[in-house]
Structure 1
Amino acid sequence: MTVTTERNHLETSVFDELTRILARTDERVRMELIDGKLRSKVVPDGDHGRIIEWLLRICMQSRPELFLYPDQGLKVQAYRSGRARPDGSLAPSGAFVGQGEWADPDPVLMAVEVTSYDSDSDSDTDGRDRVEKPRAYAETAIPVYLLIDRDSCEVTVYSEPDGVRYESARTVPFGKTVDLPDPVGITLETEQLKDWVH
């Protein structure tokens, strides 16, 4: 779903009020604002949740001082005018204490997205997770973006944000080992991901 104003741009204050209203009526609705466009995120399925659980355990074992926060809202893009809700945000433990629904992204070392099976169309996932999110996270200077793509059965690690885009992107098929570069510094054995795709 995409909702925009006449100027094809939704103001952040209008978005914030809309999400407050929606949260009171349906807690399953997960909204984002990327490039001025209102987007709804698909409620994750069980396999999606299992992938986040798998990654959470790896992160806690490898870097116990960090935590992978599921669904923490972040202020993203230039001037923090966007709103994204990554499937996971890796940051120091306690990084978001005292912050509201949309937190400052500065402590985030890695944003994680796991593709969902959209009922509307694959183009929503393609545009959101493969195009819009890498750009938004790079503009926000999040050091690493991890995309676990269940459609292509691949993992892509984006790194070296230059303020506009990520200068490095490494893609490997499920089953291969992939290193998450500094400041994350974790190695993923991705064989298990094959069990959680349709």
Structure 2
Amino acid sequence: MDTRMTDSRAIEAFEELEVPEGFKAELLWGEIVMMAGPDLVHNRIVTKVMDQLSPDKWERVQNQDVAILAETSEPVPDLVVMALEDAPESGRLMPSEQVRLAVEVVSKTSVHRDHVTKRALYAAGRIPAYLIIDPLRGECVLLTEPTGKGEQADYRVERKAWFGDTMPVDPLGVKLDTSGFQTLPVSPPEQ
């Protein structure tokens, strides 16, 4: 049974949601998902990516709400990259059509969401490139050429690089140096 709310009810509930300080919320396929703030390693990786993208060419925004309203979704990527000429003056919601690259840094609680849920969601929103940076695995995955619709949408091209390797981000004409990316320690299972 599908327990998701109707499109309008989900969007209305999400827009009225009061998120506690230190948390962020996203609307993904009609479901509201709340998560705690990120680890310091996570924030350092996002900063290292931003520093490699020229501010003279790219608008680089952290934690920007993206509108994929046809999919009842308002994800909040860790980093959104747009061409300067596409960046609006203001607004809470960035139309997915204006996003050139969405970046997610995986945390212990977001593995499935970043690798599976958002992969389909960003492809459905026609975001041309999606970069998953996984400090648990020490790996980057660049997905390009979105195809399909809805939850069956995906990317045709997948390129991987280990931390320490250079990751070509061809849609932006950038070669990303990943040598400064830290990994997260794997926690022992709880007793």
Q: Same fold (TM over 0.5)?
A: yes
Structure 2: segments with no counterpart, 5+ residues: 186-191
Corresponding position of 1:91: 82
TM-score of the two chains, using structure 1 as the length reference: 0.82
Q: Aligned partners of 1:102, 1:50: CA distance in 2, in Å?
A: 25
Corresponding position of 2:136: 151
Corresponding position of 1:192: 180
SS in structure 1 opposite 2:97?
coil
SS in structure 2 opposite 1:96?
coil
Q: Aligned partners of 2:133, 2:79: CA distance in 1, in Å?
A: 11
Q: CA deviation at 1:59?
A: 0.8
TM-score of the two chains, using structure 2 as the length reference: 0.84
Structure 1: segments with no counterpart, 5+ residues: 1-5, 119-124
Aligned residues of 1:34 and 1:82 also touching (Cα < 8 A) = yes
Do the aligned partners of residues 11 and 31 (structure 1) sit closer, same or farther apart at CA in structure 2, a change above 3 Å counting? farther
Corresponding position of 1:179: 168
Query: Residues 39-98 of structure 1: CA distance to partner in whole angstroms, max 9, x if unpaired?
Result: 1133112111111111111012xx622121100001127x24211000011012371323
Residue identity over aligned pairs, in percent, reads 26
- Structure 1 residue 169 and structure 2 residue 158: aligned? yes
Corresponding position of 1:31: 25
Q: Aligned partners of 1:15, 1:71: CA distance in 2, in Å?
A: 20
Alignment of 1:1-198 (within 5 A): 7-23=2-18, 26-60=20-54, 64-76=56-68, 79-93=70-84, 95-99=87-91, 101-118=92-109, 125-163=110-148, 164-182=153-171, 184-193=172-181, 195-198=182-185
Q: CA deviation at 1:38?
A: 1.9
Q: CA deviation at 1:197?
A: 2.8
Number of aligned pairs? 180
